Chain A
Amino acid sequence: MALKKRQGALWQRITIAVPYLWLFVFFLLPFGIILKISLADPVIAQPPFTPFFDADGGLSITIDNFLFLLTDKLYAVTYIKSIFMAATAMVLCLALGFPMAYGIARANPTTRSLLLLLIVLPFWISFLLRVYAWMGLLNNYGVINNFLMWVGFIDQPIQMMYTDFAIFIGLTYTYLPFMILPLYATLERMDLDLVDAAQDLGASRTIAFWDITWPLARPGVIAGCLLVFIPAMGEYVIPYLLGGPDTLLIGRVLFDEFFVNRDWPLASSVAIMLLLILVVPIVFLQRSQARDAEATS
C-alpha cells in the first residue's frame, strides 16, 4: 500500500473529508429527518407536521403513524401485495434469465460479447421509455391485440393493460438484465467438464443440472434475485403506468401519501417501514457480495 505510509497528511485528510461530508449531509442526515418526521403529527401548516420540540421545549413525538400502519388493513394488504409482486417478478426473471445467462456463457467469444452487449444496451436507454414501449404493445388497440385479431385468434381485444399481468411484464422486462449479469458472471467461471463427467458416469441431464450446475451457480442466483427483488419492492413508475388504479404497491402509496394527501409524517413512516422490510435482503446482498469479492481476489 504505497499511499498508506504517510498516513494523516493534509491532502489525505481533505480527500477523505470531502466525500465524507457530502454523504453525511446529503445521505445520512436526510434519514435522520425522515425518522424525525415519521414521529410527528400531521397538521395543516407549512411544513405540514408538528415540530419535534413543543413550545415548552419538551420532546413532542408520537408513534401513532406506525400504529396506524400496523393496524390498518389496507396497508397490510399493500405490503403483502408488494412483496408478492416483487417475488413473482424475481421468479420470472430467474426462469427466463438462467437459461439465457447459461446460453451466453456457453457461446463462442465473439458471439458472447455481442450477446452481452445486447443485454446491457437497454440499461442505457431510458427506463421510462422502455416501460412506455409496453404501453403501446399491451393496449386494447395495441400491437399485440391488433396482431391476434388480425390472425383471427381472438375477435375482441384481451384486457392486458392496467392489470397485474402488465405489471409483471414491466417488472420482468426492466429488471431482467440485473438477473442475467450476475448469473453470467458465475456461470462463465464454472467448469463445464464437471457436467460432462457426471453425464459420462450415467447422470441424466436433469440430475446433472440439479446436482452440479445449480449449486455452483448459487452465488449468482442469490445476487441476481436480490438485485431484482429490492428495487422491484419500491417501484413506482411501472405500477403507475401499467397497473390498474386499484393496484396498491408501497412505492405508489408513499408517493400518494406525500403528494396527494400531503400527509408527510405518514409518508415518512411508510418509507421507514419499507426500509425495515428491505434491511434483511440488503444485508444479505452485501454479505454475498463481500464473499464473492473475497473468493475472486
Chain B
Amino acid sequence: MKKQSRFVFSVLVFGYAFLYIPLASVIVYSFNDSKLATVWGGFSTRWYVELFKNEQILDAAFLSLRIATTSATLATIFGTMAGLILVRFGRFRGQTLFSGMITAPLVMPEVITGLSLLLLFVSLQQLIGWPAQRGFTTITIAHTTFSMAYVAVIVRSRLATMDESLEEAAMDLGCRPLRIVFDITLPLIAPAMIAGWLLAFTLSLDDLVIASFVSGPGSSTLPMYIFSKVKLGVTPDINALASLIILIISILVFAAWFTARRSQAST
C-alpha cells in the first residue's frame, strides 16, 4: 500500500468535513433551548417533546410512510418484471420503446415528471372522473412510476451478472418456465429486490417536488410539511425532526454495512 499523497489526504479530510459538518451542526442545535434557532441558549430536549405533540407532523409522517410502503412494493413488483423482460426475454416488439421508457425517469428533472403527471391526472378527471381527488393515490402512482426505474436497473444488473446454468439445467430437466422463475430466478435475485425496495422506499419518503405537483388540498406529505416550514427559515422543531431522521437512517445504514461485512468475512 502506497501512502496517499498529502494533497489527496487533505482533500479527503476537507471533503468529508464538508459532507458531515452541516449534519452535525443540525444535531447540535436541535438540543438548543433557545427559540431563536441560531442563538445558543443552553441544553434542552424540549423540541423533541414538542415534536411528538405536533399532530400535523405526525399525520404527515404517517401519510408519507403509507405512500412509501405502497409505492415501494408496487415499484419492486413492476421493476423486477421490467428487469426480467430486459435481460431474460430476448427481443420482443416495442423493446426499444420499453427500454427507453424504463431508463428515462432516472434522468428526468423532477419538475417535468411532476408537471406531466399532474396534467395527466387533471385530464383523466375531466374525461372519466377519476381520480376524483388528488392525494394518497396520485402520489403513490407518481412515486411508483419513477422508482420502478431504479428497481429495474438494480435487478437488471444483478440478472446480467448471474449464471444462467441453473435455469438451463432446470429447463433441461423439464421444469416449466414459470416455475423456473418462481423457484430459481426470484430467490436468486431476492437481495437485489430487497435493495430495490429499500431504495424505492427512501426515494418516496424523500420526494418533495413531484408530490407537491400531484397532491391535492389537505394531503401533505412529510417533506411538503417540512418545506412549508423551512421556507420561512430555520426552526428548532425541524432541527429536532431532522436530527431524529439523520440518527435513525445512520444507525440503519451502519447496521446493514456491518451485517454485510460479517457475512462476507464468514464465507
> Interface of A with B (CB < 8 Å)?
1-7, 9, 11-12, 15-16, 18-20, 22-31, 33-34, 37, 47, 96-97, 99-100, 102-104, 106-108, 113, 115, 117-130, 132-137, 139, 141-143, 146, 173, 176, 192, 230-231, 233-234, 236-237, 240-241, 250-251, 254-255, 258, 264, 267-268, 271, 274-275, 278, 282, 285-286, 297
Residues of A within 8 Å of B1, CB to CB, are: 108
B101 at the interface (CB under 8 A from A): yes
B132 at the interface (CB under 8 A from A): no
Asked whether, in the complex, the Cβ of B90 is within 8 Å of the Cβ of A4, the reply is yes
A265 → chain B, closest Cβ, in Å?
A: 11
Residues of B within 8 Å of A118, CB to CB, are: 16, 19-20
Asked whether, in the complex, the Cβ of B84 is within 8 Å of the Cβ of A15, the reply is yes
Residues of A within 8 Å of B90, CB to CB, are: 1, 4, 7
Asked whether, in the complex, the Cβ of B38 is within 8 Å of the Cβ of A16, the reply is no
A156 → chain B, closest Cβ, in Å?
A: 15
Partner of A18, one of B38, B78, B101: B78
Asked whether, in the complex, the Cβ of A22 is within 8 Å of the Cβ of B242, the reply is no
Asked whether, in the complex, the Cβ of A27 is within 8 Å of the Cβ of B145, the reply is yes
Partner of A241, one of B21, B82, B98, B230: B230
Asked whether, in the complex, the Cβ of B257 is within 8 Å of the Cβ of A3, the reply is no
Known contacts A4-B90, A126-B245; is A30 also within 8 Å of B8 by CB?
no
Asked whether, in the complex, the Cβ of B112 is within 8 Å of the Cβ of A234, the reply is yes
Residues of A within 8 Å of B239, CB to CB, are: 136
Interface string of B1-35 (1 = CB under 8 A from A): 11010011101101110111111011001000000
Known contacts A19-B148, A34-B119; is A231 also within 8 Å of B109 by CB?
yes
A34 to B202 alpha-carbon distance, docked (Å): 28
Asked whether, in the complex, the Cβ of B111 is within 8 Å of the Cβ of A234, the reply is yes
Asked whether, in the complex, the Cβ of B122 is within 8 Å of the Cβ of A141, the reply is no
Partner of A121, one of B116, B245, B253: B253
Asked whether, in the complex, the Cβ of A106 is within 8 Å of the Cβ of B107, the reply is no
A33 to B160 alpha-carbon distance, docked (Å): 35
Residues of A within 8 Å of B145, CB to CB, are: 22-23, 26-27
A170 to B125 alpha-carbon distance, docked (Å): 38
B208 at the interface (CB under 8 A from A): yes
Residues of A within 8 Å of B39, CB to CB, are: 141
Asked whether, in the complex, the Cβ of A124 is within 8 Å of the Cβ of B202, the reply is yes
Residue among A11, A119, A137 facing the most chain B CB atoms (10 A cut-off): A137
Q: Looking at chain A's contact residues, is the secondary structure mostly helix, strand, loop, or mixed?
A: helix
Asked whether, in the complex, the Cβ of B227 is within 8 Å of the Cβ of A128, the reply is yes
Known contacts A19-B82, A254-B115; is A1 also within 8 Å of B164 by CB?
yes
Asked whether, in the complex, the Cβ of A3 is within 8 Å of the Cβ of B177, the reply is yes
Can you name the residue of chain B whose Cβ is closest to the Cβ of A230?
B107
**Closest CB pairs A-B (n = 6):** A234-B109, A30-B116, A133-B22, A2-B167, A99-B11, A4-B90
Known contacts A11-B177, A99-B7, A132-B26; is A271 also within 8 Å of B168 by CB?
no
B51 at the interface (CB under 8 A from A): no
B262 at the interface (CB under 8 A from A): no
Q: Using A19-B102, A103-B4, A126-B205 as known contacts, list a sample of 17 further A-B pairs with CB atoms less than 8 Å apart, ordered by residue number in A.
A: A3-B84, A6-B177, A19-B85, A19-B148, A26-B120, A33-B120, A117-B254, A118-B16, A126-B242, A128-B206, A128-B230, A132-B26, A132-B226, A136-B26, A137-B21, A143-B38, A282-B107
A170 → chain B, closest Cβ, in Å?
A: 10
Interface string of B218-247 (1 = CB under 8 A from A): 000001001100110110001100100110
Known contacts A3-B89, A31-B116, A173-B18; is A122 also within 8 Å of B23 by CB?
yes
Partner of A236, one of B19, B88, B110: B110
B161 → chain A, closest Cβ, in Å?
A: 8
Asked whether, in the complex, the Cβ of B226 is within 8 Å of the Cβ of A128, the reply is yes
Residues of A within 8 Å of B38, CB to CB, are: 136, 139, 141-143, 146
Asked whether, in the complex, the Cβ of B171 is within 8 Å of the Cβ of A100, the reply is no
Asked whether, in the complex, the Cβ of A135 is within 8 Å of the Cβ of B230, the reply is yes
A286 to B108 alpha-carbon distance, docked (Å): 13
Asked whether, in the complex, the Cβ of A132 is within 8 Å of the Cβ of B242, the reply is yes
Asked whether, in the complex, the Cβ of A133 is within 8 Å of the Cβ of B242, the reply is yes
A272 to B111 alpha-carbon distance, docked (Å): 11
B128 at the interface (CB under 8 A from A): no
Asked whether, in the complex, the Cβ of B246 is within 8 Å of the Cβ of A5, the reply is no
Q: List 23 A-B contacts (CB under 8 A).
A: A2-B168, A2-B171, A16-B85, A16-B89, A19-B78, A19-B79, A23-B101, A33-B116, A33-B119, A47-B126, A96-B14, A99-B15, A103-B9, A108-B1, A117-B254, A123-B202, A129-B242, A142-B38, A236-B110, A236-B111, A237-B227, A241-B231, A278-B107
Residues of B within 8 Å of A267, CB to CB, are: 115
A106 to B14 alpha-carbon distance, docked (Å): 17
Residues of A within 8 Å of B246, CB to CB, are: 125, 129
B81 at the interface (CB under 8 A from A): yes
